[in-house]
Structure 1
Amino acid sequence: MYIKKILLAIVGLGLIAAGFFANFVYKAMLKPNTAFNNESAFIFIPTGSNYQYVRNELEPLLNDIEAFDALAKQKEYITHIKAGRFEIKKGMSNNDIINSIRSKNLPIRVSFNNQESLEKLAGRISDQIEADSLSLIKAMTDTSFLKANHFTRASALGMYVPNSYEFFWNTSAKDFRERMLKENKAFWNTSRLDKAKAIGLTPEEVITLASIVHEESKQASELPRIAGVYMNRLKIGMPLQADPTLKFAAYQLPEYQGTVIKRVLNVHKEIDSPYNTYQNRGLPPGLIAMPDITAIDAVLNYEKHKYLYFVADAKRLGFHKFAKTLSQHNAYAAEYWRYLSSQGIRK
C-alpha cells in the first residue's frame, strides 16, 4: 500500500511537471505573441548586430519579450543573428518569429533614375539598402574596378542602367556594384550591340549621347528625332552645340554652384571645358546625367531625317521646333527668345 501511494505521488508529480512543461512549450513556442494590429510588421537587422539590438527592435512588437528571450536562448538564436529585412506576421508565435528572422531574409525593390552624378546615385541607393553613401561612392569610383571593366570616372555613371531591381536590404556596396555590372552587360544584349555598331558608336558613346538627348526633352515621342539631329551633326563634323553640355560645364565651376541656368548665354559658350560642345567637336568625354532607357533606345533607333537644328517651341512648352536650315532655325529661336524675355527670364 505504501509503495502504491509513492507511485501515485510520483505519477501525480510527473503529471504536474508535464503540465508545467506543456504550458511552457505553449507559452514560449506556440502561443501567439504579437502586439500590433496590422497584418504584418518588418524589422531591419544591420550587419554585425547582436541579440540586444534585435531584442530592442522586437520588444514594441511583442506581448511577452521574456518568453521570446527564453526560446531564443534555447534555440541558440541569440548567438546566430542574421542581417536583413524580415517580416513578422500578426498572430505569429515565438517559434514562428525566430524561424522568420533566422532564415527568411526578404528582398526589396531598389529603384533609381535621372541621377545627375555618382554622388547623387550613391545617396539615392543608400536610402534603400544598408550600405551608406560613402561606401557606395568608394566602390563606384574604385580605379581598379573601373579600369578592369573599361570605364573611366567620366563614364562610370553610364554603367548603372536606371530601372527597378530586387536586392536584399543588407547588400554591401561592392555587391551592389557587381550586380549593376551584370545588369549592364545584360542590358547591352546582342540586339543593342548590333544597333550601336550599325550607327558607328560604342555603348559608352551611345550612353553619352543619350544623356544629352534626355536632358533636351522629356517627351518620349521627340527623343528619336532629337537624337537624329545630333547624329546628323556628328556625321558632317558639325559641333553638337548642345546647351545641356554647357550647363553641365558651368555647374562644375565655383561661380555657378547653387545656381540654376534657365537661359544659355554667349558667356556660357566661352567656358573652357571638354564638355563645351560649342567649342569642341564630337561627343564630350562622358555622360552629363543618367539617361533613361527610352533615351538610350532613342539613340539606337534614331529618326532618319535632314534636320540639323531644333529649339524649344514657345507655343507648345515641353516640345521643340525642328529646322533644316540655319535661317529657319534662327526664326524659330527668335520666337522662343522673345517668349523668355516676356517671362522675365534673363539668365
Structure 2
Amino acid sequence: MTDPTPSLPPVLPPAPPPAPRPARGRLALLVAGVVLSLVLGAAAALYHVLLRPNVPTAVEGPAYLYIRRGVGLNAVLDSLRRPGQLERYQTFAWVARWRGYGTPAHPVQPGRYTLPAGAGNLALVQLLASGRQDTLAFTLKPFNYLPQLPRQAGRQLNTDTTQLHQLLIDNAYLVSHFGLDTATVRTLFIPGQLRLVWPTTAAAFLDSVAARHRRFWTATRLHEADSLKMSKVQVAVLASIVQRETAQPTDKPLIAGVYLNRLRRGQPLQADPTLLWPLHGLGTRKRVLNVDKKVDSPYNTYRHKGLPPGPITTPYPQALDAVLRPAHHKFIFFCARPDGSGFSDFAETFAEHKLNARRFQHHLDSLKIKR
C-alpha cells in the first residue's frame, strides 16, 4: 500500500557568491568612456570649426565680399579680416586651407558674394568655391559723350575701362555685333537699371546693354517707328534732341511733333543742343551763341537739313516714346516760357514765334537788371 504523504524536495546547497569582476572588464568600460568622450569632444570641435555660425547678422543689412579678378586666397582672407565680416576669422582660414580653397582644383572665383548671416565656415567656403556670386543693380545714366561711359561702368562694375573704350571705337566689332557704327552706337544705350555680375567684362557689359535695347523695341514700338518711316536709330537720334530740349514730360511729345513737322516739310531742324554737341558744350554751356551756328559740322542742324548722324545724348524710354507717339499738331516753332517753369510756348507761324521769343528775351533782360 502506497504512503500518501508526498516526499519533500531535496534541500539544495546555498549558491556560491558571485565571482569578483575581472580588472580587464573595468578597464574596457573605462576605455569606452574615454573614447566616447573623445568622439563627443571631436564632434563638438568639428561643429565649432565647420558648422557653427560665423557670419554675424549686420544691423545695416547684408554684408558683401568683393573678390577681384586674379587674386588668391590671401587677398580673400585679408578682406574677411575686416571688422564685422566674421566672428572667428582664424577658424575660417583653417577650413579654407583644409578644403583646398584657392588651389588649382578649387580656384578663387571673382565676384560679389553676399555673406549669409548665420553661415558656418564650411558653407561659406563652399559658396565662394562654387562661384555662385550675386548680381547687382547697375543704373545706366544718360551720357553725352562716349568717354563718359567707361567711367560709369568702371566705377560700379569694375569693368576694364580701357577694353570697353577700345570696343566702342572698333567699328568692325560694332557693326558685326550690333549693326551700329561709332557714330550710332550710343543709340544702343537706353538709360535705366540692369542686373549685372561684379566684375563685368567689357564685352559682357555691351551684350547686356544690347539685351535691354532688344527688350525695349517691342513689336508695337517697331510698328510705330515704321509708321513714321523712321528706323530705330533715327528715332533715338531725334529723341536725344527732344530730351535735351525739355525735362517736362508733357512737352516732350509736343516738341517731338514740332521736329517731325519740320522734317516732313524739308526744313532744317534748327535744334540748338545739336550745335553744342561737337563743341563738347553739352552739360557745360547753357546758352547757344550766334557764332555757334556757323560751325561747319554735320551736327549743325541750322546748316544741314535732316537728322544729325548720331544722337547727342542717350535718351530715356520716355523721350523715345515721345517720338514714337508724338502730339499731332501744326506747330513749327517753340520757345521757352518766360515764367521759368521749363515749359514751352508753341507757334504755327514765325510771327507768333517772334512774339513768344520777345517775351522770353524781356524776361532774361529783367533778370540781368535785378542782378
Which residue pairs with 1:17 in the alignment? 38
8 Å contact kept, 2:167–2:174: no
- Call closer, same or farther: CA 1:144–1:14 in 2, change over 3 Å: farther
After the TM superposition, which of the residue ranges 215-224 and 71-80 deviates more from structure 2?
A: 71-80
Distance 1:303 1:76 in 2: 65
Aligned mate of 1:178, from 185, 195, 207:
207
1:242-261 mapped onto 2 (5 Å cutoff): 242-251=271-280, 260-261=284-285
Which residue pairs with 1:78 in the alignment? 102
8 Å contact kept, 1:162–1:292: yes
Aligned mate of 2:336, from 304, 308, 312:
312
Which residue pairs with 1:45 in the alignment? 67
Per-residue Cα deviation, 1:214-262 (whole angstroms, up to 9, x for no partner): 00001010111100100011111100000000111322xxxx69x9332
Give the letter for the 2:77 counterpart: R
Aligned mate of 2:116, from 50, 69, 89:
89
1:1-347 mapped onto 2 (5 Å cutoff): 1=22, 3-4=24-25, 7-8=28-29, 10-34=31-55, 37-38=58-59, 39-60=61-82, 61-79=85-103, 80=106, 81-103=108-130, 104-148=132-176, 149-251=178-280, 260-344=284-368
Distance 1:338 1:324 in 2: 21
Per-residue Cα deviation, 1:56-114 (whole angstroms, up to 9, x for no partner): 11122223222112221232323222221111233322123223333431111111132
Per-residue Cα deviation, 1:188-214 (whole angstroms, up to 9, x for no partner): 222111111111111101100000000
Distance 1:117 1:17 in 2: 69
Distance 1:30 1:277 in 2: 68
8 Å contact kept, 2:331–2:347: yes
After the TM superposition, which of the residue ranges 213-222 and 71-80 deviates more from structure 2?
A: 71-80
Distance 1:283 1:198 in 2: 18
8 Å contact kept, 1:139–1:177: no
Give the letter for the 2:292 counterpart: H
8 Å contact kept, 1:140–1:177: no
TM-score (norm 2): 0.85
8 Å contact kept, 2:140–2:194: no
Show structure 2 runs of 5+ residues with no match. Answer: 1-21
Distance 1:226 1:26 in 2: 69
- Call closer, same or farther: CA 1:6–1:86 in 2, change over 3 Å: same
- Call closer, same or farther: CA 1:246–1:344 in 2, change over 3 Å: farther
Give the letter for the 2:46 counterpart: V
3-state SS of 1:165 partner: strand
8 Å contact kept, 2:235–2:320: yes
8 Å contact kept, 2:54–2:86: yes
Per-residue Cα deviation, 1:306-333 (whole angstroms, up to 9, x for no partner): 1000011112430101010011111111
After the TM superposition, which of the residue ranges 117-126 and 232-241 deviates more from structure 2?
A: 117-126
Displacement of 1:175: 0.7
Distance 1:205 1:242 in 2: 15
8 Å contact kept, 2:252–2:319: yes
The number of residue pairs the alignment matches comes to 340
8 Å contact kept, 1:311–1:320: yes
Distance 2:284 2:73 in 1: 49
8 Å contact kept, 1:159–1:181: yes
8 Å contact kept, 2:145–2:313: yes
* Higher normalized contact order (CA 8 Å, seq sep 6+, divided by chain length): 1
TM-score (norm 1): 0.91
Runs (4+) of structure 1 exceeding 3 A deviation are 1-10, 34-37
Distance 1:135 1:192 in 2: 33
Distance 2:122 2:217 in 1: 46
After the TM superposition, which of the residue ranges 90-99 and 40-49 deviates more from structure 2?
A: 90-99
After the TM superposition, which of the residue ranges 102-111 and 159-168 deviates more from structure 2?
A: 102-111
Displacement of 1:284: 0.5
Displacement of 1:342: 2.9
Aligned identity (percent) is 32
Over alpha carbons, which structure has the higher Rg?
A: 2
